[in-house]
Chain A
Amino acid sequence: MKKFNYLLTAITIGAMSIVGCDPVEDINDQLEANEAGIFDVFDYTLTEDDYKETLELDYANFNTVDDAKALIPTVLNTNFPVLGDASLANVSYDLYAPVSTESSLIVYTVSTADYDANPDTAQYNNFDDEEQIYTFLDSKFPNVANRTLVSLTYVFYNGSAQTLNNGFLRVNGEWQFVLGLTSAEYTAVGQGFANFNTEDEALRKLPIFLLDKFKYEEIAVNTVKSTMYKLYTTDVDDIDGDGSKTDRATYSYIVNFIYDGSSWSEYNNTLRMTLQFGNDSGVWVPDNTIAYSFTQGDIALVSSTLLAKYPGPADNVGFFKSFDRRSGSSNYWSDDMMIEAIGIVLDSINPNAEEDQKYAVTVVIYNGSTTNETFFLIKTDGAWVAQ
């Protein structure tokens, strides 16, 4: 009798050890791992703390775009630890892109002798071709130190002869053109002489001057223009070569301006850039994904385009405005059919999308109840495919 008590106990324990696990546990774990978590689509601009504290950089900018791509995820992880998969961050950061300014100055007016030295310019005593200027500079100033600015006054023939004053900055053995103002332009910006009185005045008036000067040109955002302005100031460097360092002389200075799409401002050697990052299963990666939701028009387009190919499903989605995603249904939209349908819409709304452009497209589906489903596509070899 006792024997059977043991047997029964053994059977019970045996049965319990077999079933003492949760059959759905693995699925739940997987679902938890894949949990969309908290997600957001947001704009963010890196702060000085992000550069210097979080990333321990010396300067509040990145040297290269690759640095930005590599380091910004750290900032996002630090600042937004709870954000998970499907989050999209549009991040603004500063990229260090230095534009040289002068470290020494030569003020020079091209003389008749200079023009005569070149057979091309000897006849009219002016330049009529930019190459002629650089030929002149190379021969006149063959061995100037790096970052030497030549503030050059010369006559240029372009329909009529004009006296110009522009800068030429020697950078790594090359001359870089720096835009200067003509006397007429100084007059136009309200100066009595061909110079500014103070640096502040130059910095205030030059952006207005640039807007006016290029008002008929299409200037791209983040375009940097080097300008040269003149100040009548104490000749501490004896720039006029008269031996006195206490008299006054006209100095030239370079200042760079950057265009933000509507106005010019002084360029501080950093470009404001933006990069989109997407959160892929908890990891932030640079991402060009565009989020898009189907409109009624998109559904009508899909329904009509695919009616011949998938008569049942296409008719059904046109009527119910939702994609039937029950695999057992006769109007079932398989994953492949969904990608095909979304591709039709993307080709319609963004026919010139670049290669590797990604989309996250949300559509209304029916899987027993009406809900949303998001599909991720990428343009590959000119066609929209699932990511």
Chain B
Amino acid sequence: MKKITSLLALVFLLFTAAMQAQGTIRGTVVDGENNTPLPGVNVVVNGTTNGVTTDFDGLFEIQVAKNTGALRVSYVGFAPLTVNFDVTGKKVVDLGTINLKMDSDALDEVIVKAYSLAIDRKTPVAVSTIKAETIENELGSQEFPEILKTTPGVYVTRGGGGFGDAELRIRGFNSQNVAVMINGIPVNDMENGNVYWSNWAGLADVTSSMQVQRGLGAAMIGLPSIGGTVNIVTKSTDIAAGGNVMMTTGNDGYTKYGFTISTGLLDSGWAATASLSRTTGEQFVDGTTIDAYSYFLNVAKKINENHELSFTAFGAPQRHGQRQNRLLIDDYRVSDRGIRTNTDYGYKNGQILNHEDNFYHKPQMSLNHYWTINEISSLTTSVYASYGTGGGGGTAGLNKFGKYDTNYRDEPFAPVNFDQIVAENKALGAAASAETFLRASINNHQWYGALSTYNTELSEYIDLSAGVDIRFYKGDHSTELTDLLGASFYIDNNDVNNPNKVVKEGDTYNYNDSGYTNWGGLFAQAEYNKDKISAVLSVAGNNTSYKREDYFKYTPEDPLRETDWVNFTAFSTKGGLNYRLDSKNNVFANIGYFERAPFSDAVFINNTNITNENAENQKIFSAELGYGFRSDKFRADLNVYRTKWMDRTYTISRTADNIQYTANILGVDALHQGIELELSYRPIETLTLTGMASLGDWQWDNDVKNVQVFDDQQNAIGDPIDIFIDGVKVGNSAQTTFAIGADYEVLETTTLRASFNYAADYFADYNPTGRTTSNLPQTWEMPDYGLLDLGLTHRFNFGGFNAQINANVFNVLDTEYISDAQDGSGSVASTALVYFGAGRTYTVGAKINF
């Protein structure tokens, strides 16, 4: 070990000793916001590889070979700064304190605008920003959105506990209603609005900033930001030359290793960053295996002062075992495996087999062009493409997977004995169709888009932005037979063009269709900035078109095989004003109304080509007031919001004479209002205390009476139904959350962290339109819970390299808590189907920067 250290030190020395010293430059780099020293900041002489990093007090000392030049000072999450020096005639020059500006404040203004980032004390929205350093130190093996759990209004659950199966909910709205943008590009699924975080595994390694904008958000384009918007900005030309290698290990065999390497901005104007990682092992829940890679590549070229091109490609091919079936609380209590119990995997030939799994790869590529047209105008354009391939595994045929079925499990909840199922398939004989087998629901897609925004200053105080947002999406949906479990074939009769089809492994059966979603949007925004006032007004309009083509249900001659386009036009408008009372206090207000097209499953009900022409836009009205306080040691943000969601998309079906009829349920409204507080206090330089409180009051707003289903002759089918939801609490998200945290630098090299998160007023999930009888109780309220996380970061010199160790223990007290629940009969604990959150888990990681 010592030899290697010496060798590395020697290599490092060889690099540095090659220089001819002319003088020495000293300085201290601090966080411009609160004047705290920044350790590990890169200080490089421009145009050379000569560089150092700051020590733990933010101090650096660099020897330069020329008398004059410039130092480039850069740090992840901060804007790089170039400082000129002149050591002529002096041996030592002290540059004094160098302020680095943090967050989006400091990001290139073009980037800020293109990526719809909110600017502190300027953009009138409620926002929390997570720095790259926080992600790097604290994320560990947590799901990426979990880094947001200490911000108000946010509830993050790992769902079943599989890798990347997390869901982020904001202000009581599920992930379909939380817009996620990566580098300004919307990534919510075009058909169903979901965000699949497993698609973005590895992104955490290259994130330079993550913002959660609650409520209306700062984006100009039409977005489903009913709950809010999450903006993720990856590293690009702002990153300094160098890189790192990292290795993390954790509970249940979790292992991740990877590296990031970056050229920095070269004199030629090129900059490139590449990152690669591999994750294996398991999550806390039994059978949740991980087999994932992630890659990221950014190549940027600053062509000249006016043009910059940036190409980014990233993806995360992965396969992971899932837990898809919630269990009763009593099941977990009785099961030998306790809260780790997962009934969705088994063993075949001695090997683990996840019959509920997910495998996907969705490379996302974008080419961004930043054009500074003149002093007052710029144009930013992104063209992007994304190709998703993969799907989710499941079972088919005779169900032998019941959680209590001891014919196929050694005891209730134990792993499935696939050998028994194979033997039974074989016993049926070679000429028999498979009795039980495995399949996957394939959901491939191709998505192309372009987003272009033109900015100009209309006057000294007024900026105008306008642009277009075009997206083309085609989703291919089918079922693939993945494992015959010992049988030779399966006979399927769902393809009208191929009756009695003999299906083998890899073949498509059951259903096979394509959905087309096209989107065209226009937007414009005016911003006014003068003295203490920043105001913004935006309008956007978009057209969503759906078309469906079904290859199995209809013959090629059938006119129904391909539907016409069904169009929905939606408008949105929002405005806000921020008033800076003085250098410390600011207030803001925003108000907006927007519409959102229904999802495609409300248009093509029950996956048929009979279009529901009457599907309605959902409508959202939101208003918000906020207050902010900033001082050296203390910052506070307080805001109140009121979001009204009208005509949430719901449909009901009735069958008469074997024909299914459908009605839209209009008037299902929800009202979400609440108060959010976020605090940060730094009493001394080595200690930061943070706090958050979020009190929500999220309820369904009204009963809906007399919903009638009609046939095509307008004859009533069945009795009309009433839906009794007035005053019923919205489920699926904790309405009350608070968090406190402390970050304490015990030694110059060592930081300890503690964070406590509490969730309460958390009601089980349910379908509000199922409440068709009056006087039903509130759905079941889950027990309140609090979780303690502890962390440690230790920085040290490793053979001349800056290295650090991050250790995190999550749920230190091993608290057993329910993270998700589906309401059951009578709305009581004993009937609810639940997932427990993870028990105590840990990660230890080492990273060496070079």
Contact = CB atoms under 8 A, between A and B. Distances in A.
A328 B779 CA distance: 9
B146 interface: no
A371 B343 CA distance: 15
Interface residues of A, number: 43
B652 A330 contact: yes
B330 interface: yes
Nearest to A325: B825
Nearest to B759: A23
Contacts of B833: 367-368
Contacts of B595: none
A58 interface: no
A8 interface: yes
A27 interface: yes
B823 A27 contact: no
B826 to A, nearest CB: 6
Nearest to A19: B786
Interface stretch (A30-38, A121-129, A269-277, A281-289): A30-38
A368 to B, nearest CB: 5
Given A8-B744, A11-B754, A330-B769, A30 B829 contact: yes
Contact of A4 (B652, B654, B684, B812): B684
Contacts of A26: 783
Contacts of B654: 311-312
A298 B450 CA distance: 60
A369 interface: yes
A311 B756 CA distance: 49
A20 B831 contact: no
Nearest to B782: A23
A15 interface: yes
Contacts of B652: 312, 330
A334 B333 CA distance: 26
A22 B786 CA distance: 9
A85 to B, nearest CB: 14
Given A312-B718, A329-B767, A369-B403, A8 B333 contact: no
B829 A8 contact: no
Q: Which of A15, A31, A308 neighbours the largest number of chain B CB atoms within 10 Å of its CB? A: A15
A305 interface: no
A369 B343 CA distance: 12
A374 interface: no
Nearest to A324: B770
A332 interface: yes
Contacts of B742: 8, 11
B815 A328 contact: no
Nearest to B773: A334
A335 interface: yes
A308 B836 CA distance: 41
A327 B740 contact: no
Interface in A336-387: 336, 367-371, 373
Given A11-B754, A325-B825, A18 B786 contact: yes
A192 B771 CA distance: 86
A12 B822 CA distance: 33
A326 B824 contact: yes
A368 B330 contact: no
A312 B707 CA distance: 13
B329 A28 contact: yes
A15 B718 contact: no
Given A368-B833, A370-B402, A332 B770 contact: yes
Q: Which of B325, B326, B783 neighbours the largest number of chain A CB atoms within 10 Å of its CB? A: B783
A315 interface: yes
A113 interface: no
B686 interface: yes
Contacts of A12: 754, 788
A24 interface: yes
B703 to A, nearest CB: 16
Contact of B756 (A19, A312, A336, A371): A19
Interface string B651-668: 011110000000000000
Given A4-B683, A31-B329, A369 B770 contact: no
Q: Which of A18, A25, A27, A30 neighbours the largest number of chain B CB atoms within 10 Å of its CB? A: A27
B793 to A, nearest CB: 15
Contacts of A327: 766, 770-771, 776, 779, 823-827
Interface in B744-770: 744, 746, 752, 754, 756, 758, 765-770
Interface of B: 325-326, 329-330, 333, 399, 402-404, 652-655, 683-684, 686-687, 718-719, 721, 740, 742, 744, 746, 752, 754, 756, 758, 765-773, 776, 779, 783-788, 812-813, 815-818, 822-827, 829-831, 833, 836
9 contacts: A8-B687, A16-B813, A19-B758, A22-B816, A31-B830, A308-B719, A328-B771, A330-B772, A368-B822
Closest 5 pairs (CB-CB, A-B): A328-B767, A328-B766, A23-B783, A19-B786, A311-B718
